[in-house]
Structure 1
Amino acid sequence: MYLKVKRKIDFILSLLAMILLWPLFLILAVIIKIDSKGPVFFKQKRIGMNKKYFYILKFRTMRTDTPKDTPTHLLDNPNVFITKSGRFLRKTSLDELPQIINILKGEMSIIGPRPALWNQDDLIEERDKYNANDVPVGLTGWAQINGRDELSIPLKSRLDGEYVENIGLKMDVKCFFGTILNVAKNDGVVEGGRKGIGDEESSSNKEKYK
């Protein structure tokens, strides 16, 4: 029952966010285009609820020649690939804003486990132990306000499991305001291993961009 209510809340809030934030979208798009060659957005194959594939959207923060589907923290020298505007977008988590579109489409929720990359078999398998692949993935979640970039996969998965066990309005509100506090304090962010609001941001090659 709560998942139905959750979807309605997600739709209303994401629609309001799009209406209010479109000027910011436009400003960031201009900055990205001026800063480096390539598209404003990039899409990336992720695992959604019930392990269904979808393409997550973000503002582009890396060069278009960055190795395909490689988590940022696994690159030999990630700073070489991150653009000037990308550093700011990552530090402030503004690169995650286009995921409002994913939420509007019903592919994501505002709160939930961060969607794993299609090839992150270790994370997907670990989350299966806690049924964390059976709930809507989110822009942010319980694991993200309890460690963010610093968490190991087993610990992150266990925290995602705690979210599943306690899923409800109270838990979502706690995650929402916890995220605002963490972003304001810049807690848990490790540049080069930076994982968006929630998890591994992997780069994509030109074929992944649009």
Structure 2
Amino acid sequence: MKTEESSKKAGDGEEKPKTVKNTALDLQRMKLEKLMKNPEKPVVIPDRQKEKKTPHVPDFVRNVMGSSAGAGSGEFHVYRHLRRKEYARQKAIGEKGEKAAQDEAFQLKLLENQKQAEERTAKKRAKRLKKKKNLKKKKIENAKAGVKLTDPPSEDSSLEDSDREESVKDCDGSESNPVRSNPTDSEDNS
């Protein structure tokens, strides 16, 4: 931002106010402040730009000379005008087709992304359910063994579980029903 130095008038002892050049950020901030002064005032949001509608170019125009400069070449400007309109129409048709192709590609990409997201979610859901099922199975086994398990086993708790197995052996005096400490020790690992 540049500021312009105000010059003092010869007769007055007063100074002119400093003028500050506004940047795009300042202009945007000022517009937002103006909007926020009166929040009840409706905001006008402009509509999307509509497609250009070119007038229909007739297939055959009677009583108009062609592009050759011969007799009646005074009509050449009419020919040029029709040609210009036709080129504009062809360009609009091409742009419309290109836009349709891009929209179709975008929709396909969206569907593909959605399908991949659903596959990932299903895979994670299956993993969660399997873990939950194994935990329930382990709780049932532990209930039969007389050991209560409240939290799912973690890697840190594997040492504690091995100590617990030894203490169970010591209490009973025999190794009748050892407690499994690791979920990988279960029968089914698929």
The answer to whether TM tops 0.5 is: no
- For normalisation by structure 1, the TM-score amounts to 0.20
- For normalisation by structure 2, the TM-score amounts to 0.21
More helix by share: 2
Pair member with larger Rg: 2
